[in-house]
Amino acid sequence: MLLLKLAFRNIFRQRRRSLLTALSMTGGYVLCAVAVSMTDGTFKSAIEIFTLDHTGHVQIHQGNYLQRPKIYKTIDLASQIVKSLDQSPLVDSYTLRVFAPALAYSDHGNTSAQVIGVDLDREKVTSRLAKKVTSGAYIDQTVDREGRYSAMIGAGIAEVLSLQPHDEIILISQAADGSVANDIFSVGAIIGSKDSIDKLKVFLPLSASQEFLSLEDKVHEVSLLIRDDDRSQEIAKALQQLLPDLTVSPWQVIEASFYQSMQTKLRGNRFTLGIILFIVFIGVLNTVLMSVLERNREFGVLKAIGSKPAAITGMITLEISLLALMSVTLGLIIALPIISWLATVGIEYPEPVEFGGIVLKAVKGEISIHVFLIPMMAILISSIAVSIPPGLRAARISPTEAMRSH
């Protein structure tokens, strides 16, 4: 209790130095908290774009389909997998897909395309496909009077082939049985823009694509959204044990290049945080050293009346600890509204930024416990560590020499 009283007395007695030290630690805390929030927010936004756009959190394939896609590498027991996924409390939603390269024709020309058959109802709640419709309407599984299914085509195909909703598009591909697949479809909707990732894609109802490619009830991919996206790797391993004959991959494996690039960026941001903290610590160390040098007589008197070196070191450490605690408390009060604004409103880029194949138009911060806790622990622990060397120096002061100093 006596050390605590002395620590508070010394903090307020050296108001100018204490204020400078507190401002340094408070500013460092706010900068670190904002930096952590923006880093986590950018990472989360990019992951959300990837997973909700097409990958999902976890995907299921046959063998090495992910590395070497072939039309015959299909999941044959899709109905059994669907039953298992429906009963799983970990899975939020899922969708079934088939893929095939194709040539698209119209009266105005031809172009290459990628045919993607999707479970239309499940796709609505698993990806953002329905939100990408820029012209026409999201299709269903019904056929028109001439027995043609509707298709949703990318804006790139629509531009090259001069197609609009209700026009006809001819698709030619290779079926799974080796025959030539060809059919006429009605354009129900146009997806995205001519520069989007979906510009050369043709989306068909799952049953229509299976019939078109002679796949019966087989699929190439099952894409899942899970309730806790931070556990995607863990849940992928659990599903892999339940489905040993298939390949279950988390999004970190599916989009390995993006994941590695984001990890590199995170390491760079941690280095930046380290520099901020280093500057703060140098300022704190300088202030503490100057304080110790100015208080030589005080420490000499304390040692002369019998104070132990450990008590003097503890007093200095306690002073800095209290100052750090008050600083991070003030920093928390300042940082909370700033981070709340960044998390809700964010900062819009002057121009869209492409990173790892993802176009970001704005960046938002992340608000969570660790955004505030990580800088807090870093400031507190490092401030205590910085106070130890000056404390040891003060503890070694000779009372005789200290009493002679001015």
- What sign has the CA pseudo-torsion 199, 261, 279, 313? positive
Question: CA nearest 53: which of 356, 363, 342?
Answer: 356
Helices marked H in 256-308 — which ranges?
A: 256-294, 296-304
Beta strands in 314-357 (DSSP E): 347-355
pTM for this model (two decimals)? 0.75
Identify which of 402, 394, 390, 396 has the alpha carbon closest to the alpha carbon of residue 320.
Answer: 390
Alpha carbons 224 and 334: distance in angstroms, whole number: 40
User: What is the pLDDT tens value at each position of the chain, 406 positions in all?
Assistant: 555 555 555 555 565 666 777 777 888 888 888 888 888 887 887 788 778 877 899 999 998 998 899 999 999 877 777 877 888 788 888 999 999 999 999 988 899 999 999 999 999 989 888 888 989 999 998 888 888 999 999 999 999 999 999 999 999 999 988 899 999 999 999 998 877 888 899 999 999 999 999 998 899 999 999 888 788 888 899 888 888 888 999 998 888 888 888 788 778 877 877 787 777 777 777 766 676 666 666 666 666 776 677 777 777 777 778 888 888 899 899 999 999 998 888 888 777 765 444 556 777 888 888 889 888 888 888 878 877 777 777 767 766 665 665 5
Q: What is each CA distance from 259 to 248, 252, 273, 322, in whole angstroms?
A: 17, 6, 21, 41
Nearest-angstrom CA–CA distance, 199 and 297: 78
Nearest 5°: phi and psi at 184? -110, 135
- In whole angstroms, how far apart are CA 110 and each of 32, 114, 169, 281, 284? 54, 13, 10, 65, 69
Pairing, β 109-118 against β 358-363: unpaired
Rounded Cα distance between 301 and 23, Å, is 31
Taking the C-alpha atoms of residue 395 and residue 294, their distance in angstroms, rounded to an integer, is 14
